């Protein structure tokens, strides 16, 4: 996978993850172009797009569009399922996720994505395992917070 | 599940504007961010937003630089900074703090720090270097989560040059007890493999271990690397086919833990990855394919559930079945599958069905026929993507009957399409069809495609029009039609037509408007003149129009129009236009001259056929050129070379002064084989090929000497100039277009010019006695058919050489092979003379009868002593010329055998070159004709029965790679039989091109600073204690021929050069029980390759 974008129906970018080195300018241009193209498409249209030499796979969940760019020989359907699994993960983590969760806790959304995809490839497809890894890290945070606040660091 | 998500998500966006409360309830700790976000959503104008963010950024800036800010506050600030950046506002002042946070924070703070770094910076950002130490520390941490974070950031982005620093630690993680760490480590290595394959070349066996990992997740991760490696070299991994099949069988059979299921399908990602690998392995390989049939069948059978994920697997399965060696019942099932896709009401599946059809239709056009109704429906689909894919499919099945309809459909699509990328692609396809199945659609193509199409499309169209088809009458009709339609177009609204189309129109009218009798030339001229007056007509188009006018004016009525035009443009600022205008002026006045210059109609045809009359070498200019050169003029350089040199002149010189390569070569290095000057020079050489070397190549010497006394590197040593004089360039280019961007093109050009150069000849020119006494008469057969064919044949030989495939990677590395043949023979391939020139030649490749006494005569008994137990080698070695036979030679390896011809080769190390000797022995009784060997264009010669011929080539490495291989062809002809050819290749490690380089410590210092390519790595020491460094360096010295410059305490410096003169410096330091090695060189990839060999050398020891 080359990159993943999340944007709202209003065209606001909510999340972006780039797996190929591109300059800031290129990134901005690409996301602007893609957001425009995808928002212009009708709901019953195909989820795949040819864009330059890439294949764009996108899906809309409520007010959010999830969009991935893969190479031409990659499997479009499985990319669609990657998007779906990511939505499932977000849903499970936030407990029926909504756009607001992603706006206000975008860093969490990034952590989940990083645990699910690494370097553009699916690394862990089990919902249970991804969330376990995230929760462990969260737990660690609380522990360290506790210890730094209450001066109980000797306990840990 | 997804339904639930969808419902919740649909319900919520309204809350954003009406009631922010429920959302904010979830934010407890990040309230500042919450306030910011809420603040922004309340704003109405972009201007207000900007103000708010600027204010926010200012406050962040204040706080991050304050020493009292705790790491926890820093984390919170960083999140806000990320938010501001994601809105498109720059917060670059926070970058350094993000790195600090990753370094000093604990747990989540660190995590936010890493996240901020990966979002803010990209691979090439210089601040990333500061992250390396943090990553190193975290990789060694005992805290699993910290290790995970480090591995995540490493596989997201890491500076390529810094990989060696962390590679050992990542490698170590492959043995970690936790599978999550192992998995992330494998993916990190995959990332390294993608960005710097050289760096991980030595750990391929570890990939294999990952493939056999007991955890399926780790194994899955390793498949990414394998897919990549197999794509590059399917042959190398055939042995794994059975293992991949077994894995797939187990997965399909549901042997994996439930964790891997996705919507009750077992590990679909793994399945798809395996199917892609199998497709690569089974392609064009019947035996490998046979192993797969069963499991593919099983996969097709199992994937029955009606869910996207099963379709994904089915699609991959079908692709695999059609890629590997075909099996009929599987193909049948796959075809049925495609049918289901195409007929599906789901649009995504329909799209994939069409895509699959496009893929298989070349093998089985019937399949498209079955679904033709669906395809026709898809053509009028409202979704452009579906239409586009359908057109792609139709393009593949176009034939003479359906071409008109299909092209019509494509043009229809082009008219509504707005995407440039698709337009360019599709216009190309239409043009291709129009050429294959001539029709009159090109006008539409030109007006629709506009100026965006590839420039060769109009060219090939015009060529098509002028060369015509089979019947004269048809040609006439087509041309008339073109003239007619173009006149009508011009009479309407020419202003809207694209420039390219106008150019085509003016050419056609110029050539063919006379075919239409009732058409007055004046009318056409006036139309064209109108075009000239249009504002947006480009000057290129204008010159096309002027040329057309030149063809049209025949005197009489049109003179007034012409005069007006030519007067206007003969004072134009544009030199091309001015020239055209003058041509027009003269030719319109002098009808006799005009008739001579501009042949009409049939005359044009004959002119095309008799193209051979054109002296493409421009030899008539030779005198002029050499006079000018003698007068001190600079030799011609093709524009791209000039540009390159210009670009280089602007850059800082990073080359060392002392080691200047024979730069003066570049002065006469004309690399473009189309260049007329080049051809003329070489034809000048070939005209008197025999004498020129004895004359001392006077002309060329003069050029070189005069021109390049001062090079980019300063004053050029005289020694070089003399040598170059001998090295008259051989008119062949080893440059391929892809190389243009290489950092040191000049050097590569140089290397390429070594092609065909002979060390012998330079010796000879410098006044030393001729080394070989064997003389024989030989007919320079050259090429039997006259003229141009010989011009073509040489480059094609060269291209063969260019195809050096590399062993296990696709790093382009080319060898400039210089033929050790006498210089007198070199221009032969290019020689245009058709007569049999009798030349007395001195040849080092001497032909001998199988006559034992000769061996003794040549005094090669010494060589015989060396290998008493290899009579065959000995026998071949004995054929080496005397000056080579004393050198140490490698084992003789057989290359190939065709009929009675046996090819074998060995290499010999000389101090300043590497010689490849190719032995061709003919064991049959009959004589062979026209043996043309090998790597370079050695000449054809007759070859008697039972004899051995030795060719020698001196090799130079153009671009370093770990191994280099030379490919070549030998072709020959038995009397009265058809010519035969065989290909062979010969593999060499880079090390044999390495020679010691003697420099002083001071010289080393200056050179070190000026080299730009470097690499670092830790190597194992040999032995321990004080002597470890010396012992290790001695091993390197012996095995790799490195020169030890100096050893001080725990540090040592070494130097070497790659033939001919490409230096590489090495700095070693003993640190924590390992040898930290730092290599530098002006040549890209050389340090990487050398470090690999150092590692090998130490391992073997």
> pLDDT tens digit string along A72-94?
888 999 999 999 999 999 998 98
| Closest residue of chain A to B185, computed from CA coordinates | A118
Question: Cis peptide before B38, with omega less than 30 degrees from 0?
Answer: no
Confidence of residue B438 (pLDDT cuts 50, 70, 90): low
Number of separate domains in chain B: 2
Confidence of residue B441 (pLDDT cuts 50, 70, 90): low
Chain mean pLDDT for chain B: 70
Most confident among B21-35, B438-452, B604-618, B803-817 (mean pLDDT):
B438-452
Residue B499's CB is within 10 A of a number of other CB atoms, namely 15
Most confident among B505-514, B592-601, B633-642 (mean pLDDT):
B505-514
Which of B365, B292, B364, B357 is closest to B324 using CA atoms? B292
Distance separating alpha carbons of residues A77 and A75, to the nearest angstrom: 6
Do B1013 and B934 fall within a single domain? no
Give the closest of A53, A98, A106 to B9, CB-based. A98
Query: Do the Cβ atoms of B190 and A121 come within 8 Å?
Result: yes
A114 or B576, higher pLDDT:
A114
Distance separating alpha carbons of residues B719 and B727, to the nearest angstrom: 13
- Give the pLDDT confidence of B462-502 residue by residue, as tens digits: 666 666 655 666 677 777 777 777 777 777 777 777 777 77
Distance separating alpha carbons of residues B812 and B957, to the nearest angstrom: 12
- Joined together, the tokens standing for residue B883 give 């000056």
- Joined together, the tokens standing for residue B121 give 């910076």
DSSP one-letter code for B897? E
| Closest residue of chain B to A72, computed from CA coordinates | B355
Query: Tokens 């699509």, residue?
Result: B413
User: Is B529 within 8 Å of B567 (Cβ atoms)?
Assistant: no
Do B1027 and B971 fall within a single domain? no
**pLDDT of the residue at B1006:** 81
Distance separating alpha carbons of residues B159 and B764, to the nearest angstrom: 51
Mutate to test the interface with A, among B70, B72, B108, B391 (most CBs of A within 10 A): B108
Tell me the sheet residues that pair with B775: B842
Distance separating alpha carbons of residues B257 and B235, to the nearest angstrom: 33
Considering only B331-335, B525-529, B659-663, B1049-1053, which range has the smallest mean pLDDT? B659-663
Do B981 and B1017 fall within a single domain? no
Do B950 and B887 fall within a single domain? yes
Tell me the sheet residues that pair with B1066: B1054, B1079
Distance separating alpha carbons of residues B447 and B673, to the nearest angstrom: 35
DSSP one-letter code for B200? G
Considering only B71-75, B722-726, B845-849, which range has the smallest mean pLDDT? B845-849
Considering only A35-39, B365-369, B1019-1023, which range has the smallest mean pLDDT? B365-369
Confidence of residue A65 (pLDDT cuts 50, 70, 90): very high
DSSP one-letter code for B274? H
User: Is B1054 within 8 Å of B1033 (Cβ atoms)?
Assistant: yes
pLDDT of B884 higher than 50: yes
| Closest residue of chain B to A55, computed from CA coordinates | B385
Give the closest of A21, A87, A128 to B122, CB-based. A21
Which of B785, B765, B663 is closest to B716 using CA atoms? B663
Q: Confirm whether B220 is domain-assigned.
A: no
Q: Confirm whether B685 is domain-assigned.
A: no
Which of B217, B149, B132, B155 is closest to B182 using CA atoms? B217
Interval B1042-1068 mean pLDDT: 85
Interval B632-661 mean pLDDT: 59
ipTM: 0.90
**pLDDT of the residue at B333:** 87
Distance separating alpha carbons of residues B243 and B251, to the nearest angstrom: 12
What residues make up the domain containing B906? 876-990
Distance separating alpha carbons of residues A56 and A65, to the nearest angstrom: 12
With beta carbons under 8 A apart, name residues in chain B contacting A70.
none
Strand B1043-1048 to B1013-1020 pairing: unpaired
Distance separating alpha carbons of residues A35 and A7, to the nearest angstrom: 7
Do B986 and B1007 fall within a single domain? no
Give the closest of A19, A22, A63 to B13, CB-based. A63
- Give the pLDDT confidence of B966-992 residue by residue, as tens digits: 777 777 777 667 777 777 778 888 888
Confidence of residue B556 (pLDDT cuts 50, 70, 90): low
Query: Do the Cβ atoms of A119 and B155 come within 8 Å?
Result: yes
Q: Confirm whether B494 is domain-assigned.
A: no
Distance separating alpha carbons of residues B220 and B210, to the nearest angstrom: 9
Last residue in a domain, options B990, B1012, B1030: B990
Which of B641, B600, B608 is closest to B750 using CA atoms? B641
**pLDDT of the residue at B392:** 83
The per-type count for chain A, helices as H runs and strands as E runs, is: 5, 7
Do B880 and B974 fall within a single domain? yes
| Closest residue of chain B to A77, computed from CA coordinates | B312
Query: Do the Cβ atoms of A61 and B9 come within 8 Å?
Result: yes
DSSP one-letter code for B978? -
**pLDDT of the residue at B798:** 33
pLDDT of B349 higher than 60: yes
With beta carbons under 8 A apart, name residues in chain B contacting A132.
none
B661 or B110, higher pLDDT:
B110
DSSP one-letter code for B974? -
pLDDT of B361 higher than 50: yes
B473 or B269, higher pLDDT:
B269
**pLDDT of the residue at B271:** 92
Which of A47, B561, B724 is closest to B546 using CA atoms? B561
With beta carbons under 8 A apart, name residues in chain B contacting A74.
none
B188 touches chain A (CB under 8 A): yes
Last residue in a domain, options B933, B958, B990: B990
Last residue in a domain, options B931, B966, B990: B990
User: Pseudo-torsion of CA B466, B468, B474, B476, nearest 10°?
Assistant: 20
Distance separating alpha carbons of residues B347 and B710, to the nearest angstrom: 69
Percentage of chain B beyond pLDDT 70 is 66
User: Is B174 within 8 Å of B147 (Cβ atoms)?
Assistant: no
Do B891 and B985 fall within a single domain? yes
Q: What are phi and psi of A51, to 5 degrees?
A: -140, 120
CATH architecture of A3-153: 2-Layer Sandwich (3.30)
With beta carbons under 8 A apart, name residues in chain A contacting B146.
none
Cβ density class B245-284: b for 16+ within 10 Å, e for less: bebbeebbeeebeeebebbebbbbbbbbbbbbbbbbbbee
Residue B909's CB is within 10 A of a number of other CB atoms, namely 16
Give the closest of B79, B111, B352 to A137, CB-based. B111
Interval B426-455 mean pLDDT: 63
Distance separating alpha carbons of residues B973 and A3, to the nearest angstrom: 57
Do B968 and B1039 fall within a single domain? no
**CA triple A111-A112-A116, angle to 5 deg:** 115
Distance separating alpha carbons of residues A45 and A56, to the nearest angstrom: 13
Strand B1074-1081 to B1013-1020 pairing: antiparallel
Query: Do the Cβ atoms of A136 and B145 come within 8 Å?
Result: yes
Shortest alpha-carbon distance between residue B993 and chain A (Å)? 35
B603: Cα within 13 Å, side-chain hemisphere: 8
**pLDDT of the residue at A86:** 93
Which of B662, B800, B787, B685 is closest to B731 using CA atoms? B685
CATH number at residue B900: 2.60.40.1150
Do B881 and B986 fall within a single domain? yes
Confidence of residue B557 (pLDDT cuts 50, 70, 90): low
Q: Confirm whether B1093 is domain-assigned.
A: yes
Do B1026 and B933 fall within a single domain? no
Query: Tokens 């049918």, residue?
Result: B339
With beta carbons under 8 A apart, name residues in chain A contacting B188.
119
- Joined together, the tokens standing for residue B675 give 């260049």
Which of B829, B788, B824 is closest to B936 using CA atoms? B829
User: Is B1040 within 8 Å of B1101 (Cβ atoms)?
Assistant: no
**pLDDT of the residue at B762:** 32
With beta carbons under 8 A apart, name residues in chain B contacting A62.
5-6, 8-10, 12-13
Distances, alpha carbon B159 to alpha carbons B89, B128, B225, B810, B1085, in Å = 25, 7, 20, 22, 16
Distance separating alpha carbons of residues B1082 and B1061, to the nearest angstrom: 11
Angle of helix B308-323 relative to helix B286-302, nearest 10 degrees? 160
Sign of CA dihedral B835, B838, B839, B841: positive
Residue B825's CB is within 10 A of a number of other CB atoms, namely 24
Interval B748-760 mean pLDDT: 33
Q: Confirm whether B959 is domain-assigned.
A: yes
Side by side, which strands form the sheet with A64-70? A13-18, A3-8, A64-70, A54-61, A48-51
**pLDDT of the residue at A113:** 92
Q: Confirm whether B1043 is domain-assigned.
A: yes
Burial of B445 per CB tally in 10 Å (0-12, 13-18, 19+): buried
Query: Tokens 């293992």, residue?
Result: B243
Strand A64-70 to A3-8 pairing: antiparallel
With beta carbons under 8 A apart, name residues in chain B contacting A59.
none
Residue B65's CB is within 10 A of a number of other CB atoms, namely 12
Distance separating alpha carbons of residues A76 and B280, to the nearest angstrom: 19
Interval B54-80 mean pLDDT: 85
User: Is A99 within 8 Å of A8 (Cβ atoms)?
Assistant: yes
DSSP one-letter code for B239? G
- Joined together, the tokens standing for residue B461 give 């169209």
Q: Confirm whether B321 is domain-assigned.
A: no
Q: Confirm whether B773 is domain-assigned.
A: no
Do B978 and B890 fall within a single domain? yes
**pLDDT of the residue at B615:** 61
């Amino acid at each position: 996978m080359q990159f993943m974008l999340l944007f709202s129906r209003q065209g606001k970018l909510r999340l972006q993850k780039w797996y190929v080195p591109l300059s800031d300018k290129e990134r901005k241009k690409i996301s602007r172009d893609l957001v425009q193209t995808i928002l212009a498409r009708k709901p019953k249209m195909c989820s795949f797009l040819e864009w330059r030499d890439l294949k764009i796979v996108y899906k809309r969940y409520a007010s959010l569009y999830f969009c991935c760019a893969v190479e031409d020989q990659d499997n479009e359907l499985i990319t669609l399922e990657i998007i779906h699994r990511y939505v499932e993960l977000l849903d499970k983590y936030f407990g029926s996720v909504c756009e607001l969760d992603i706006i206000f806790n975008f860093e969490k959304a990034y952590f989940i994505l990083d645990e699910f995809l690494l370097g553009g490839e699916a690394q862990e497809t089990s919902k249970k395992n991804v969330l376990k890894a995230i929760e462990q890290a969260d737990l660690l945070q609380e522990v360290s917070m506790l210890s730094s606040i209450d001066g109980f660091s000797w306990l840990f | 599940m997804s339904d639930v998500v969808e419902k919740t998500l649909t319900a919520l966006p309204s809350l954003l504007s009406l009631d922010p409360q429920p959302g904010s309830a979830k934010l407890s700790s990040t309230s500042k961010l919450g306030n910011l976000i809420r603040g922004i959503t309340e704003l109405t104008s972009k201007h207000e937003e900007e103000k708010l963010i600027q204010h926010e950024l200012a406050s962040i800036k204040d706080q991050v630089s304050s020493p009292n800010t705790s790491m926890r506050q820093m984390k919170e600030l960083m999140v806000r900074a990320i938010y501001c950046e994601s809105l498109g506002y720059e917060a670059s002042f926070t970058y350094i703090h993000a790195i600090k946070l990753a370094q000093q924070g604990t747990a989540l703070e660190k995590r936010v720090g890493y996240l901020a770094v990966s979002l803010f910076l990209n691979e090439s950002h210089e601040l990333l270097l500061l992250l390396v130490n943090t990553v190193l520390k975290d990789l060694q941490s005992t805290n699993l989560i910290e290790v995970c974070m480090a591995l995540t950031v490493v596989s997201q982005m890491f500076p390529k040059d810094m990989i060696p620093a962390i590679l050992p630690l990542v490698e170590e993680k492959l043995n970690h007890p936790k599978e999550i760490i192992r998995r992330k480590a494998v993916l990190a290595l995959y990332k390294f493999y993608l960005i710097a394959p050289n760096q991980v070349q030595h750990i391929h066996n570890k990939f294999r271990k990952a493939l056999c990992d007991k955890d399926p997740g780790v194994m899955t991760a390793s498949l990414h690397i394998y897919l990549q490696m197999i794509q590059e070299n399917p042959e190398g991994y055939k042995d794994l086919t059975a293992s991949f099949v077994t894995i797939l069988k187990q997965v399909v059979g549901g042997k994996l833990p439930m964790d891997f299921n996705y919507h009750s399908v077992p590990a679909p990602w793994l399945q798809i990855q395996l199917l892609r690998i199998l497709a690569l392995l089974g392609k064009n390989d019947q035996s490998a394919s046979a192993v797969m049939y069963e499991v593919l069948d099983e996969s097709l059978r199992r994937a029955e559930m009606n869910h996207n994920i099963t379709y994904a697997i089915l699609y991959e399965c079908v692709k695999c079945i059609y890629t590997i060696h075909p099996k009929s019942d599987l193909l049948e099932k796959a075809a049925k599958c495609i049918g289901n896709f195409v007929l599906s009401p789901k649009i995504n599946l329909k799209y994939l069905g069409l895509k699959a059809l496009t893929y298989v239709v070349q093998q089985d056009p019937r399949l498209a026929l079955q679904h033709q109704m669906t395809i026709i429906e898809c053509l009028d689909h409202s979704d452009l993507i579906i239409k586009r894919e359908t057109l792609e499919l139709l393009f593949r099945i176009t034939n003479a009957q359906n071409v008109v309809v299909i092209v019509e459909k494509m043009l229809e699509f082009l008219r509504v399409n707005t995407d440039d990328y698709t337009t360019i692609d599709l216009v190309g396809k239409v043009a291709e069809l129009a050429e294959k199945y001539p029709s009159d659609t090109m006008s539409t193509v030109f007006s629709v495609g506009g100026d965006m199409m590839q420039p060769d499309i109009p060219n090939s169209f015009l060529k098509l029009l002028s060369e015509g088809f089979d019947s004269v009458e048809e040609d006439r009709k087509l041309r008339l039609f073109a003239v007619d339609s173009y006149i009508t177009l011009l009479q309407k609204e020419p202003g809207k037509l694209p420039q390219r189309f106008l150019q085509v129109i003016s050419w056609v009218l110029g050539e063919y408007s006379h075919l239409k009798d009732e058409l007055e030339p004046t009318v056409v001229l006036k139309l064209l003149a109108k075009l000239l007056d249009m504002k947006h007509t480009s000057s290129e188009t204008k010159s096309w129009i002027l040329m057309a006018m030149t063809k049209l004016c025949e005197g009489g009525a049109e003179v007034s129009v012409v005069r007006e035009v030519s007067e206007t443009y003969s004072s134009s600022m544009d030199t091309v236009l001015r020239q055209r205008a003058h041509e027009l002026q003269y030719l319109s006045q002098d009808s006799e001259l005009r008739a001579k210059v501009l042949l009409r109609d049939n005359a044009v045809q004959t002119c095309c056929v008799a193209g051979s009359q054109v002296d493409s070498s421009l030899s008539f200019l030779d005198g002029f050129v050499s006079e000018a050169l003698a007068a001190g003029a600079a030799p011609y350089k093709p524009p791209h070379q000039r540009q390159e040199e210009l670009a280089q002149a602007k850059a800082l010189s990073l080359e060392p002064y002392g080691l200047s390569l024979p730069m003066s070569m570049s002065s006469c290095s004309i690399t473009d084989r189309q260049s007329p000057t080049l051809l003329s020079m070489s034809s000048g050489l070939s005209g008197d090929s025999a004498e020129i070397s004895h004359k001392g190549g006077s002309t060329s010497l003069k050029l070189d000497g005069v021109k390049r006394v001062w090079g980019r590197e300063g004053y050029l040593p005289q020694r070089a100039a003399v040598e170059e004089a001998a090295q008259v360039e051989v008119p062949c280019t080893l440059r391929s277009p892809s190389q243009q961007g290489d950092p040191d093109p000049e050097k590569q050009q140089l290397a390429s010019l070594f092609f065909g150069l002979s060390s012998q000849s330079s010796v000879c020119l410098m006044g030393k006695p001729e080394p070989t006494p064997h003389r024989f008469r030989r007919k320079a057969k050259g090429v039997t058919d006259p003229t141009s064919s010989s011009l073509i044949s040489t480059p094609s030989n060269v291209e063969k050489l260019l195809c050096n495939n590399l062993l296990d990677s696709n790093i382009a590395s080319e060898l400039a092979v210089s033929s050790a043949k006498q210089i007198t023979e070199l221009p032969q391939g290019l020689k245009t003379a058709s007569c049999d020139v009798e030349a007395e030649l001195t040849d080092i490749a001497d032909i001998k009868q199988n006559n034992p006494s000769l061996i003794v005569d040549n005094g090669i008994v010494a060589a015989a002593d060396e290998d008493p137990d290899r009579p065959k080698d000995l026998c071949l070695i004995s054929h080496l010329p005397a000056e080579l036979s004393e050198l140490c030679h490698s084992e003789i390896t057989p290359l190939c055998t065709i009929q009675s011809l046996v090819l074998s080769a060995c290499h010999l190390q000389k101090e300043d070159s590497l010689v490849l000797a190719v032995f061709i022995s003919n064991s049959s009784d009959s004589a062979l004709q026209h043996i043309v060997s090998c790597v370079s264009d050695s000449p054809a010669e007759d070859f008697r029965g039972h004899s051995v011929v030795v060719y020698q080539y001196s090799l130079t490495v153009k671009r370093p790679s770990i191994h280099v291989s030379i490919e070549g062809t030998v072709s020959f002809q038995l009397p009265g039989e058809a010519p035969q050819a065989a290909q062979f290749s010969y593999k060499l490690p880079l090390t044999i091109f390495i020679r010691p380089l003697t420099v002083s410590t001071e010289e080393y210092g200056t050179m070190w600073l000026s080299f730009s390519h470097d690499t670092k790595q830790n190597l194992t020491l040999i032995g321990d204690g004080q002597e470890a460094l010396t012992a290790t360096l001695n091993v390197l010295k012996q095995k790799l021929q490195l020169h030890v410059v100096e050893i001080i305490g725990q540090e040592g410096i070494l130097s070497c050069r790659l033939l001919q003169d490409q230096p590489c410096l090495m700095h070693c330091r003993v640190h924590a029980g390992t040898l930290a090695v730092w290599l530098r060189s002006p040549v890209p990839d050389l340090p990487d390759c050398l470090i690999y060999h150092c590692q090998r050398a130490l391992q073997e020891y």
